[in-house]
Structure 1
Amino acid sequence: MTLEQRRAWVRLVVALPAYAAYLVVVLGGLDGRPLAEASYAGPLLWTVGGAIVAAIVAEVVVAAANPKASQVKDDRDREIGRLGDQVGQPFVVIGAVAAMLMAVADWSPFWIANVIYLGFVLSAVVGGVAKVVVYRGGVPQW
């Protein structure tokens, strides 16, 4: 397993539980209040920061567990990385456009922040899945 393939797996495995934890904390803290009044800023920042730290720690642990694994990034890795980014990037754009329209329509900051976060998560997950699938099955020839 190459360095980039391990990174794709780590980021994929970290993104989903981090977002799930965020949803559990925010939805669990409603206490009968409307969703738009939920306390979301702290949990959002903590889960994003925690996911970043968890990904770094996981990459270090995985690298330490197999120190003889290749650290070289070749053309195939670059192609797969580019393909995964191209597959995941539209979700960031969709989230940003949705947030912009929500801001113009004067929606609650809760919804704006959450649509941006969801766009980032979908981008990471869909792009990560694309990378893992291509690593397992090969680079498609167009």
Structure 2
Amino acid sequence: MTFTERYTWAGLAISVVTFVAYWTVVIVRAGTDGRPLVDVDWQGPMLWSLLLGGGLYAVVMLLLWLRVRGEAHTDERDHEIERHAASTGGGITGLAALAALVMLALNAPAFWTATVLFVGSFLGSLASVGVSLAAYRKGL
């Protein structure tokens, strides 16, 4: 398994865990407070999930990099796979950003606008990871 494939798997695990943890906190808060999702305090859990997820990913990436320092980390195949994956995920993330801009123009509640960005970014990352891992397993 190449360095790039290892950190792709790590990124997938970290993003799924942080995404599920965020939604668990928000849904539990809504259920225990008896309030709709829009009225739940969601900002803190979202910021924490982004900070902790990003920080954990950086630490894992550093540890993986230190493990293979002095060796070639990527090759031409890795670059080609990353290019295909980025174009797939970028389209979904861009669509989420466009939807959020439209929602802001229409004065949609901040919760739903942030949720569209958060979920859209997650889905874009998930699509990107899916393309990468499929390419590593089955080829381009």
TM-score if structure 1 supplies the norm length? Answer: 0.89
Partner of 1:52: 54
Q: Distance in 1 between matches of 2:70 and 2:123?
A: 29
CA 1:99–1:5 in 2, change beyond 3 Å: closer, same or farther?
A: same
Partners of 1:86 and 1:20 lie apart in 2 by: 25
Q: 1:25 to 1:118 in 2, by over 3 A?
A: same
Instruction: State the 1:68 CA deviation.
Output: 8.0
Which secondary structure state, in structure 1, belongs to the residue aligned with residue 108 of structure 2? coil
Structure 1 runs of 4+ aligned residues shifted over 6 Å read none
C-alpha displacement of 1:104: 1.4
CA displacement 1:2-55 (0-9 Å, x = unmatched): 111111111111111110000011111121111111111111110011111221
CA 1:27 to 1:63, structure 2 compared with 1: closer, same or farther past 3 Å?
same
TM-score when normalising by structure 2:
0.90
Pair 72,62 (structure 1): closer, same or farther in 2 beyond 3 Å: closer
Deviation at 1:63, TM superposition (A): 5.1
Q: Percent identity?
A: 28
Where does the alignment leave 5 or more consecutive residues of structure 1 unmatched? none
Equivalenced residues, count = 138
Contact 1:6–1:59 under 8 Å retained in 2: no
Q: How does 1:1-142 map to 2 (within 5 A)?
A: 1-30=1-30, 31-62=33-64, 67=68, 70-139=71-140
- Do 1:3 and 1:72's aligned partners in 2 also have CA atoms closer than 8 Å? yes
